[in-house]
Structure 1
Amino acid sequence: MHLQKDTNPALNTVTAYGDDYIEINKTRHQRSIYFTPEGQIYDLGIQSPFDFTTELLQKITGVCAAAKSPMDFLDHAAPRFENPEQIEVLLIGTGKTQQLLPPELLHELLNARVGVEVMDSQAAARTYNILMSEGRRVVAALII
């Protein structure tokens, strides 16, 4: 299905998708990928939503552990996480059908104030285009 006729070549826009591909700026990808509105399109390196790890989600969003204060032990504070890329939303497309992820995988992202939405990959592609067109800091991770 074609989504948009006109694209801004400076922004990564989903221009079409099907059961076995996703098209970004009219370039077809037949492997799972992740991307932001600007920059490169990266190989996700997984083929199932059950392959997501906390480390992979951190890599995709740039979320990392915050520097510890020497006094943190006094408050028994849980580890804090930073969001240096200022990502607002991570859209996870889980393939042809929606597959929810275990909540413990998402804890660090939510702690860093990154919203996470999990849906089938075609819905995630459509949602990405809407958020990207609004100027939102969004990352799409789409399993093909």
Structure 2
Amino acid sequence: MKLQLEKSDGLNTFTAYGDGYVSVNGIRHSCNLAVLPERLIPDWTLATFETLSVGDFELLASLDAEIVLLGTGRVLRFPSPDLLRPLVRAQKGLEVMDLPAACRTYNVLMGEGRKVAVGLLLV
């Protein structure tokens, strides 16, 4: 599905998504990635949902964001509370959603000028 934004001012925005891919600023990505308005982290993790580790969440917790979104792919799945400890310690909000919802929510929050990051599981 293509997403249309009014204006992005050169910041990272999702322009499309589908099975196994997202497009950021018109560039297609098919690996797990983390996205912030001014930064893109390809291969944020090599894990699948089942193999996510505390280290994956430590990286998300270290990002300059007040709220972190986790896109779990086509299906909404919630990670184990043990994995979320780095985000709790860093006092970061976390919202878990499927990939399409994570892309749309990121675009809205980014457009509002919020400090947001999203980690997407595409594999």
> Displacement of 1:141 after TM fit?
0.7
- 1:43 is the counterpart of 2:43: yes
Question: Where does structure 1 differ by over 6 angstroms across 4 or more consecutive aligned residues?
Answer: none
> Displacement of 1:7 after TM fit?
4.7
Q: 1:36 to 1:141 in 2, by over 3 A?
A: same
Q: Between Structure 1 and Structure 2, how many residues are aligned?
A: 122
Structure 2 Cα separation of the partners of residues 125 and 117 of structure 1: 12
Q: TM-score, normalised by structure 2?
A: 0.89
2:8 alignment partner AA: N
- 1:119 is the counterpart of 2:97: yes
Secondary structure at 1:40's aligned position in 2?
A: strand
> Displacement of 1:15 after TM fit?
0.4
Deviates more, 1:53-62 or 1:12-21: 53-62
Secondary structure at 1:126's aligned position in 2?
A: helix
1:8 alignment partner AA: S
2:106 aligns with: 128
2:29 aligns with: 29
Q: 1:7 to 1:48 in 2, by over 3 A?
A: farther
- 1:110 is the counterpart of 2:94: no
> Displacement of 1:9 after TM fit?
5.5
Task: Point out the structure with max Rg over C-alpha.
Answer: 1
How far does the alpha carbon of each residue in 1:70-119 deviate from its partner, in whole angstroms, 9 at most, with x for none? Answer: xxxxxxxxxxxxxxx3x211111111101110011112212321001111
Q: TM-score, normalised by structure 1?
A: 0.77
2:12 aligns with: 12
2:11 alignment partner AA: L
Query: What value does the CA root-mean-square deviation take over the aligned residues?
Result: 1.7
> Displacement of 1:51 after TM fit?
2.2
> Displacement of 1:6 after TM fit?
4.6
1:3 aligns with: 3
* Percent identity (aligned): 39
Structure 2 Cα separation of the partners of residues 103 and 34 of structure 1: 20
